[in-house]
């Protein structure tokens, strides 16, 4: 081949074709490169790209090497970077080689590549199974309790699960509202202007309900100046008489020495998880509780209990009431279906609103207990409408012998509708705290 090329060049020069000679020499140079196997590398839009063959990435760990590879690929991979204007270098085209862009020829990771790898590892999204493991597991349908759905679930061993009924979902929602976590300590006062209409039974029933559904036990305080029977209604007369008759008066005498829950427990009574402070039984002493003394008790209780219920007794003007109302977060106004009971409940709310407790009156919960099972002549709907517009919520407790007898109140002995009413009251109380 060289002899023929030289002859062609001599002929072209002798004919005076200098331009033709230069074209022939350029063509010969390109053909010579092809024969020697050194095809020049075509680099897109970057003349400074190294022409050496890619070297394998070397690193101290697999994770770092993988991160470095991802970082180098991400600089030109438009789907990963979100830049649609760049080319995809991994798409092969005929007659074109892929440039070795990121890896240095020495086989080691350069400082720039290491920094890029560390940055890519820091900014890389966490795997889905770490951030949202629930997406890999099907959500379990709640188990139905009672009724046809519960029976079908038991008979099929759980194979047929129709889920909870609407009634059960409502019950679960009440339980969720009652069991909410609270930040701080709160106090609910239970009061009325008339005795014998379910004030103490409501305190015990709601207290036991709070204790059943909450993680922290509530405390009930008997601040009734008329020899209150809160503890007897929660424990039973016989058990209370056998117990050490510690009262709120005993606690007041030693309040400065109570510096722990263990020390406080010596003055408490326990009905399951409901903790109680008994009222004074001596008539000559029971009416002597002052607002300042009650506030000392309330301050002590607030260090150990998130919820306190205070049975205030009858009336709103006895000595301790100013301390009770000033420290209360919300109120329960006890009422009955008798016309006189409804009027007294309304008078209580009006008195509160006109004596500086307008917020307590507006956010009060009126509880109407059908304790005496009034005759059909009484229009219960009219009484409820009479009270509903002047309070936050009105809840009716149906007639129940477990409440009407004036004896021990236990949740197991109550009718389902009565327990449901106490759950609604407990949920409404917690609603007023959050």
Return the biggest CA–CA distance within the chain. 145
Kindly report the number of other CB atoms within 10 A of residue 191's CB atom: 25
Select the more confidently predicted residue: 287 or 370. 370
Distances (CA, A) of 2 to 14, 17, 75, 196: 18, 20, 47, 127
Match 């205030």 to its residue by tokens: 312
Q: Are 149 and 164 in contact (CB under 8 A)?
A: yes
- CB-based contacts of 396-399 (< 8 A; 24+ apart in sequence): 396/367, 396/368, 396/369, 396/370, 396/421, 397/198, 397/202, 397/205, 397/367, 397/368, 397/369, 397/370, 397/421, 397/422, 398/370, 399/370, 399/371, 399/373
Q: Is a pLDDT exceeding 50 seen at residue 39? A: no
Contact 202, 331 (CB under 8 A): no
**How many alpha carbons fall within 13 Å on the CB side of residue 415?**
11
Listed in order, strand segments (DSSP E) in 144-208 are 186-192
Q: Which residues pair with 367 in a beta bridge?
A: 334, 395
Q: Which two tokens stand for residue 240?
A: 């209370």
* Distance in angstroms (rounded) separating the CA atoms of residues 217 and 309: 12
pLDDT of residue 343: 83
Cα(19)–Cα(351) distance, integer angstroms: 117
Q: Which of 53-57, 58-62, 311-315 has the highest mean pLDDT?
A: 311-315
Q: How far apart are CA 425 and CA 418, in angstroms?
A: 11
Q: Are 307 and 214 in contact (CB under 8 A)?
A: yes
Q: Which residues contact 339 (CB under 8 A, 6 or more apart)?
A: 378, 383
Most confident of 16-30, 65-79, 108-122: 108-122
pTM: 0.66
Nearest-angstrom CA–CA distance, 57 and 69 = 8
24 compared with 147, residue with greater pLDDT: 147
CB 120 within 8 A of CB 70: yes
Average pLDDT along the chain: 78
Rounded mean pLDDT of 239-259?
Answer: 83
In sequence order, which residues have a C-beta less than 8 Å from that of residue 290 and are 6 or more positions away?
319, 320, 323
Say if residues 146 and 168 touch (Cβ distance below 8 Å): yes
What is the Cα–Cα distance from 109 to 183, expressed in whole angstroms? 54
273: number of Cβ within 10 Å = 15
Cβ atoms 202, 325 nearer than 8 A: no
Based on its alpha-carbon atoms, the radius of gyration of the chain, rounded to whole angstroms, reads 43
Helix axes 111-123, 62-74, angle to 10 degrees: 90
Q: Which pLDDT score, from 0 to 100, does residue 183 have?
A: 93
Q: Are 305 and 216 in contact (CB under 8 A)?
A: yes
Contact 308, 276 (CB under 8 A): no
Residue 131 backbone dihedrals phi, psi, to 5 degrees: -75, -35
- Tell how strand 186-192 and strand 393-397 pair up: unpaired
| 3-class state of residue 51 by DSSP | coil
Q: Which pair of tokens denotes residue 304?
A: 């150990």
Residue 87's pLDDT is 45
- For residue 203, give the nearest of 174, 241, 170, 233 by alpha carbon: 233
Contact 145, 169 (CB under 8 A): no
CB of 277 closer than 8 Å to CB of 220: yes
Greater confidence (357 vs 343) lies with 357
Task: Using the predicted structure, report yes or no on whether residue 82 has a pLDDT greater than 60.
Answer: no
Asked whether the beta carbons of 270 and 154 are under 8 A apart, the reply is no
Would you say residue 160 has pLDDT above 90? no
Tracing tokens 């009924």 back to the chain, one arrives at: 165
Beta bridge partners of 20: none
Residues 6 or more apart in contact with residue 185 via CB below 8 angstroms: 301, 302, 303, 305, 306, 307, 308
Residue 25: its pLDDT value, please?
66
For residue 246, the model assigns a pLDDT of 87
State the Cα–Cα distance between residues 49 and 103, nearest whole angstrom.
Answer: 11
**pLDDT of 317:** 81
């Amino acid at each position: 081949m060289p002899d023929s090329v030289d002859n062609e060049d001599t002929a072209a020069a002798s004919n005076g074709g200098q331009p033709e000679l230069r074209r022939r020499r350029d063509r010969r140079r390109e053909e010579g490169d092809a024969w020697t196997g050194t095809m020049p590398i075509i680099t897109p839009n970057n003349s400074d790209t190294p022409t050496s063959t890619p070297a394998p990435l070397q690193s101290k760990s697999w994770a770092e090497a993988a991160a470095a590879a991802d970082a180098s690929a991400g600089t030109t991979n438009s789907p990963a970077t979100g830049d649609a204007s760049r080319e995809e270098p991994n798409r092969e085209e005929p007659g074109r080689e892929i440039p070795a862009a990121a890896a240095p020829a020495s086989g080691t990771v350069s400082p720039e590549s290491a920094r890029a790898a560390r940055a890519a590892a820091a900014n890389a999204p966490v795997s889905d199974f770490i951030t949202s493991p629930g997406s890999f597991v099907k959500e379990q349908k709640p188990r139905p309790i009672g009724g046809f759905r519960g029976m079908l679930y038991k008979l099929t061993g759980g194979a047929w699960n129709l889920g909870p009924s609407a009634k059960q979902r409502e019950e679960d929602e009440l339980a969720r509202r009652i069991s909410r976590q609270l930040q701080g300590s709160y106090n609910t006062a239970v009061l009325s202007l008339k005795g014998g209409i379910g004030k103490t039974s409501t305190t015990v029933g709601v207290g036991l309900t709070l204790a059943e559904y909450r993680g922290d036990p509530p405390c009930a305080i008997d601040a009734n100046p008329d020899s209150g029977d809160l503890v007897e209604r929660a424990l039973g007369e016989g058990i209370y008489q056998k117990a050490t008759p510690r009262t709120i008066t005993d606690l007041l005498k030693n309040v400065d020495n109570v510096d722990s829950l263990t020390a406080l427990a010596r003055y408490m009574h326990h009905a399951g998880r409901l903790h109680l402070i008994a009222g004074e039984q001596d008539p000559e002493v029971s009416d002597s509780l002052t607002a300042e003394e009650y506030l000392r008790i309330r301050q002590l209780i607030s260090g150990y209990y998130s919820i306190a219920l205070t049975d205030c007794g009858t009336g709103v003007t006895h000595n301790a009431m100013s301390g009770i109302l000033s420290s209360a977060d919300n109120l329960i106004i006890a009422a009955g279906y008798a016309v006189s009971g409804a009027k007294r409940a309304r008078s209580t709310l009006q008195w509160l609103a006109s004596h500086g407790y307008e917020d307590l009156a507006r956010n009060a919960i009126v509880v109407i207990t059908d304790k005496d099972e009034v005759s059909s002549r009484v229009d219960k709907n009219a009484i409820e409408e009479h009270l509903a517009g002047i309070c936050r919520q009105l809840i009716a407790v149906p007639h129940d012998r477990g409440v009407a007898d004036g004896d021990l109140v236990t949740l197991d002995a109550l009718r389902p509708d009565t327990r449901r009413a106490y759950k609604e009251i407990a949920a409404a109380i917690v609603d007023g705290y959050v």
